[in-house]
Amino acid sequence: MSAFCTTRSGYFVLATMAVAWLATARAVRAAEGTSAASLPLKEVVLFTSGVGFFEHAGKVGGNAQVEMKFNVDDVNDLLKSMVVLDLDGGRISAVSYGSKDPITKTLKTFAVDLTTSPTVAQLLGQIRGERVELEAADKITGVILGVERQKRKVGDDEVIEVDVLNLLTDEGLRSVSLETVGRIRLVNEKLDAELRQALALLASGHATDKKTVTLNLLGEGERRVEVGYIQETPIWKTTYRLVLADEKAPLLQGWAIVENTTEEDWSDVRLTLVSGRPISFVMNLYQPLYVPRPEERLPLYASLRPQTYGQDMADKEVAFRRLALAETAPAEDAAKAPARPGQSLARAAGKSERELRDQDGAALHYWAAGAMGEQLRQTIQSVAEAGEVGELFQYVVDTPVSLARQQSAMLPIVNADVKGEKVSIYNPQVHAKHPLAGLKLTNATELHLMQGPITVFDGGVYAGDAQIADLPPGQTRLISYALDLDTEVVAKPVGRPGELVSVRLVKGTMIVTRKFAKTVEYTIKNSGGKEKTVLVEQPIEGDWKLVAPKEPAEKTRDRYRFAVKAAPGKPAALRVDEERTASEHVALSNVNDDTVRVFVSAKAVDQKVKDALTKIVEQKLALEKLIAERKQYEAQIEVIGREQERIRANMARLDRAGDLYKRYVKKFTEQEDTIEQLRGKIETLVEKETAARRALDEYMAGLDL
């Protein structure tokens, strides 16, 4: 039995445990008749969605074990996707891997707890009652009683604390300062083995970034075995070089950039690059999951003590109601109503206590479910977003690829002539003065060109950088790579007033339709030595319709492109006209003289509409005249009323037999006659006004012109 050493800092040192474990594993495998085998990596398929498919293939004989190493972060994908095929009559026994259970949880299962980095004194305190052998000034063997801290004087003033181990030896009790102990050996072999196993577990926990997965294969004879799985990988990327020459077709060279971030070298593997968007997710299958369980306690019964009891609230309510009935009912009726002290509120309500509990429980459950649903609605938000996802295509690399782990490489995927036409692309939102030098690129290859940057060389020198979206075979895209300083464009917007198109009258509403137009005049000056094709881009806006030119050279989702030939030294012109129509709804009751005057004089308005508008204005004027006359009479009554108030105030201070008082009475009488006449006229005018308003409304509602 080996011993473990101590240091004054109180930490244990573990040595060569991993080597011993490896030797043991090999011995067990040899005893079971199992051979170690390897499955070389044969094929890799990389996706642009951030995952890769890896396939291993090889041959094994008899019962075999295949060990594969993976990063810890990749084990979840491995557990979710691994497919193992033991062909030619073999079968898979199990796929084993190291658990990811928290190391502290596993350490607590040992007899010696190492979760808190215990000191020697703390460790010895955990194994009280065990027999140990000490090497100090002399060899001491005894049973641990405990560890205590004692104060010891050092020098004249200083006091320190030391750990003292108390033992029961054959000679009796002994106290040994741990400072004097050089070596401690556990006599209990089983406890010593557990301590070493816990230390080995601690050592293995330091290497948390790599895990070994073992495939256990059972069978007889030589067999073919294939293993496939997905793993998170960097997305592969593309980059292009485009060489332009006046006499030759453009040459396009494309490269794919791939990274080997796995735990093994790629040696002559078949590599396929796929552009697609398979749905892929990570699920935590590696982490052990534990279901929390309720803790039940044993019932404990304390000694009985005298108790006092409060009144049942249900009985109190019944007693209260009985007193109320006793005050209002005859005495003999009250005597007939026996007291029911055992009656509860549930029974008083016509329900049993169980029914009440069931009802309350159901209500509580319903509330909890509703609260949870509301919480989910508030916290879970949809994250789904529509967008272009590209097309599915793949590149199969013809020659096997070798790439060391944690290395990257550029692999040629395109090297072919394409079609291209040089153009200048003008967009005032990109640059107000100069267009961009560009190329109308047609994919003349049989390959699907994936999106990526393009470095352009023109005439043997670097010309600029461009970017291209996915380009299927036979399709054409524009690319731009530099500012065309030899070409200048002036864009001049020309204002044009709106034009009245038509006026309709429909059921009391006037619908006015107008046409709006806008124009942009482009002047292009080419200062270079060759004729150029300039593509002028103009945005497509809402309801605006292109009038001239009748058709653009190209039309995208959001803009027009007009092609203009610009000869050297001669300005070229382009005029773009657009128009749109808009309708305005106006209630005929709000139409006034000025509005009618404008529409009556407009040539675009039909004569029947003009006549109807004129008649509406005439009827409205007649109605307004009646209203004005009525308001005039109402104003006269108001003036007379104020005069009568003055007369009443004066009459209150006069002698009723006096002449002035009699004059006031006469005038007051005359005014009352006048008011009566005015009210009669107002009543007549109100009737005429109502009839005129009704006639106007009926006329306007019946129009359809």
Residues 467 and 447 in one domain: yes
Q: What is the pLDDT of residue 377?
A: 30
Residue at 24 is within a domain: no
> Last residue of some domain: 548, 582, 616?
582
Structurally, the chain folds into a number of domains equal to 3
Residues 624 and 577 in one domain: no
pLDDT of residue 375: 34
Q: What pLDDT is stored for residue 346 in this prediction?
A: 33
Predicted confidence at residue 303, as pLDDT, reads 53
The answer as to whether 523 is a domain residue is yes
Q: Is 599 helix (H, G, I), strand (E, B) or coil?
A: helix
CA atoms within 13 A on the CB side of 8: 3
Average pLDDT, integer, range 675-686 = 85
* pLDDT on residue 139: 84
Regarding whether 453 and 495 lie in a shared domain, the answer is: no
User: What's the pLDDT at 240?
Assistant: 92
Residue 270 forms part of a structural domain: no
Contacts of 639 (CB under 8 A, 6+ apart): none
Nearest-angstrom CA–CA distance, 425 and 438 = 7
Here the tokens at position 121 are 């004194």
Closest Cα to residue 321, out of 343, 299, 300, 294? 343
**Which residue range is the domain that position 448 belongs to?**
237-262+391-398+407-477
Please report which confidence band the pLDDT of residue 697 belongs to, taking 50, 70 and 90 as the band edges.
confident
Same domain, 493 and 556: yes
Please give the pLDDT value at position 453. 92
Q: Using the predicted structure, report yes or no on whether residue 151 has a pLDDT greater than 90.
A: no
> Would you state the torsion angle of the CA atoms of residues 290, 294, 295, 299, taken in this order, to the nearest 10 degrees?
-160
Residue 455 has pLDDT above 50, yes or no: yes
> What is the pLDDT at residue 322?
61
Report residue 569's pLDDT band, with 50, 70 and 90 as the boundaries: confident
Taking only the tens place, the pLDDT of each residue in 157-191 is 788 888 888 888 888 888 888 878 878 888 888 88
- 417 and 455 share one domain: yes
Tens-digit pLDDT profile for residues 260-313: 988 788 999 999 888 866 777 777 666 666 677 787 776 665 554 554 444 455
**pLDDT of 509 strictly over 80:** yes
pLDDT value, residue 457 = 92
Mean pLDDT, residues 407-428: 89
Q: Same domain for 522 and 568?
A: yes
Closest of 519, 523, 536, 538 to residue 490, by C-alpha: 523
- Report pLDDT digits (tens) over 480-499: 988 989 999 998 988 778 77
According to the 3-state scheme, what is the secondary structure of 20-70?
HHHHHHHHHHHHCCCEEECCCEEEEEEECCCEEEEEEEEEEECCEEEEEEE
Mean pLDDT of the chain: 76
Bridge partners of 49, per DSSP, are: none
In a domain, 252, yes or no: yes
pLDDT for 31: 45
Which pLDDT score, from 0 to 100, does residue 368 have?
Answer: 37
pLDDT > 70 fraction of the chain, expressed in percent and rounded:
77
Of the listed ranges 32-46, 331-345, 575-589, the least confidently predicted one is: 331-345
pLDDT tier at 525, thresholds 50, 70, 90: very high
Q: Are 117 and 205 in contact (CB under 8 A)?
A: no
Q: Is residue 163 part of a domain?
A: no
Cα–Cα distance between 428 and 432 in angstroms, integer?
Answer: 4
- Measured N-to-C along each axis, helices 17-31 and 189-205 cross at an angle, to the nearest 10 degrees, of 100
> Is pTM beyond 0.85 here?
no
The residue written with tokens 């009912």 in the block is: 329
- Kindly report which listed range (27-41, 210-224, 283-297, 687-701) carries the lowest average pLDDT score: 27-41
In a domain, 425, yes or no: yes
Closest CA to 437 of 456, 418, 451, 452: 456
pLDDT band at 575 (very low <50, low <70, confident <90, very high): very high
Q: Determine what percent of the chain is predicted with pLDDT higher than 90.
A: 7
* Span 207-232, average pLDDT: 82
Query: Residue 55 above 90 pLDDT?
Result: yes
Return the amino acid letter for 649.
A
Burial 640-675 (b: 16+ CB within 10 A, else e): beeebeeeeeeeeeeeeeeeeeeebeeeeeebeeeb
For residue 91, being part of any structural domain is answered with: no
Q: pLDDT tens-digit profile of 533-551?
A: 999 989 888 888 888 898 8
For the segment 7-31, the average pLDDT, to the nearest whole number, is 35
Neighbours of 252 (CB within 10 A): 22
- Average pLDDT, integer, range 217-231: 88
**Within this chain, do residues 615 and 557 fall inside the same structural domain, yes or no?**
no
Domain boundary among 455, 477, 499: 477
The answer to whether residue 385 sits within a structural domain is no
The residues, ordered by sequence, that sit 6+ positions from 507 with a Cβ below 8 Å of its Cβ are 700, 701, 702, 703, 704
Residue 273 DSSP symbol: E
Residue 470 has pLDDT above 80, yes or no: yes
Cβ atoms 468, 454 nearer than 8 A: yes
pLDDT of residue 345: 31
pLDDT digits (tens, 9 = 90+) for 323-380: 566 555 554 444 444 433 333 333 333 444 344 334 434 333 333 333 333 332 333 3
- Poorest-confidence range of 129-143, 187-201, 281-295, 406-420? 281-295
3-class SS of residue 158: strand
Domain stops at, among 582, 599, 630: 582
My answer on whether 518 and 469 are in the same domain is no
Tokens (6 digits) for 50: 């951030």
423 and 472 in one domain?
yes
Are residues 493 and 463 part of one domain? no
